[in-house]
Homo-oligomer: A and B are copies of this chain.
Amino acid sequence: MSIITSNSVGIVQAQKAHFDTQISLKSGEALPQFDLVYETYGTLNVDKSNAVLICHALSGTHHVAGRYAETDKYPGWWDNLVGPGKPLDTNKFYVIGVNNLGGCHGSTGPASINPLTGKPWGAAFPIVTVEDWVQSQARLLDYLGIQQLAAVIGGSLGGMQALEWTIAFPDRVRHALVIASAPNLTAQNMAFNEVARQAIITDPEFYGGDYYSHQAVPRRGLRIARMLGHITYLSDDVMGEKFGRKLKDDIKYSFDVEFEMESYLRYQGDKFAGEFDANTYLRMTRALDYYDPAKDFDGDLSVALKSAQAKFLVVSFTSDWRFSPERSKEIMQALLDNELSVSYAEVTAAHGHDAFLMPDKHYHDILRAYLQSVEVW
């Protein structure tokens, strides 16, 4: 029996768009040329009015839905949301997933070859921002011949990109779905990022970011960063339910794995450290730290959103202590100040920040209803 069910987008393939004109970055640096890897699901309609862009979070990729082969163990990271008949319905929408600039899944990033040196960029790869990602995603839309998005959607750092789309390109996006996100990070959030980065940067195998040429990988640091990340993605309650104080065996009076939670964290850390690029991780966390559209407007988010024209769905989750409902409400208030159309849902969910990835029925019903209301022609 096939693992490809009838509401799956099925077997998918990544594509690569090459851009040979430079992109100027917020840092003042520029990339002379760049690639973006992307996937699409569904069909672009004749009027090109049904495109939906999905922006990924910290460790996400362009592989949002479907599988690369029948034998693939796991589908894309938001497969529960995207497919024929699913809340983001590919019978209606043409859905685009893209790997962000600076990523490590095919788009130009720190591990890519710097054309000027013929060697991996490494430490020399610029720091990219949410604003840069949105600019580069707009270039991808140009490449695909799409003038306007029916919607842009993202959770967490992806939600920041969705929000930024409405500021940077008000006439290129009709709807923005900003999920489990915030208008900027709190000091506590930035502090977790800083600890994660310091774990990586002080790993002796980091070599100042040029580990590629040393045939080294700062695996220890990346592992610690990911273990820490996983704690903050889950709520205290769900960790309690899932693991509690359960022991693998008896107490052994050791520093080995004794509690089940330790086993989970080490597994997640090891897995990630074997897959993800540390330089990308550093840049993704810095992009999170820096994003703050209100900064240039004396901290006034309402003024920052003055140019926005999109309609909004803002969703938060009760147990999300990393991107709490209060932060989503700040976004909502600033949108209301601008008399924009905004729907807000605070979903009761146990899973903490991770809830935005879960197929919770109430949550999915909200997305489905909203996306059904999005007009295409």
- Seen from chain A, the residues whose Cβ lies within 8 Å of a Cβ on chain B are 26-29, 126-127, 184-188, 190-192, 194-195, 197-199, 201-204, 220, 223-224, 227-228, 230-231, 234, 236, 239-240, 242-245, 251, 253-255, 258-259, 261-262, 265-266, 269, 282, 286, 289-290, 292, 321
Contact = CB atoms under 8 A, between A and B. Distances in A.
A187 B228 contact: no
A255 B201 contact: yes
Q: Which of A27, A201, A228, A240 has the most CB of B within 10 A?
A: A228
Contacts of A204: 204, 220
Contacts of A242: 187
Contact of A251 (B192, B194, B203, B290): B290
User: How many copies of this chain?
Assistant: 2
Contacts of A286: 253, 255
Contact of A194 (B186, B227, B245): B227
B261 A231 contact: no
26 contacts: A126-B253, A127-B254, A184-B245, A186-B239, A186-B240, A187-B240, A187-B244, A187-B245, A188-B231, A188-B239, A190-B259, A190-B262, A191-B227, A191-B231, A191-B265, A192-B231, A194-B265, A194-B266, A195-B224, A195-B227, A198-B223, A198-B227, A204-B204, A204-B220, A224-B224, A258-B289
A185 B188 CA distance: 21
Q: Is the interface of A mostly helix, strand, loop or mixed?
A: helix
A27 B198 contact: no
B289 A191 contact: no
Nearest to A194: B262
A26 B289 CA distance: 45
Given A186-B236, A239-B186, A240-B188, A223 B194 contact: no
Contacts of A199: 199, 224
A265 B195 contact: yes
A119 to B, nearest CB: 20
The 3 lowest CB-CB distance pairs between A and B, nearest first, are: A27-B253, A187-B239, A127-B253
A192 B236 CA distance: 11
A97 to B, nearest CB: 27
B269 A231 contact: no
A256 to B, nearest CB: 10
Contacts of A258: 289
Contacts of A197: 255
A195 B196 CA distance: 11
Q: Which of A126, A188, A197, A199 has the most CB of B within 10 A?
A: A188
Given A127-B254, A188-B239, 5 more contacts: A187-B261, A191-B261, A194-B262, A198-B269, A203-B220
Contacts of A202: 220, 223-224
B195 A228 contact: yes
Contacts of A245: 184-185, 187, 190, 292
Q: Which of A186, A191, A204 has the most CB of B within 10 A?
A: A191
Q: Which of A245, A255, A258 has the most CB of B within 10 A?
A: A255
A286 B289 CA distance: 33
Nearest to A220: B202
Contacts of A188: 231, 234, 236, 239-240
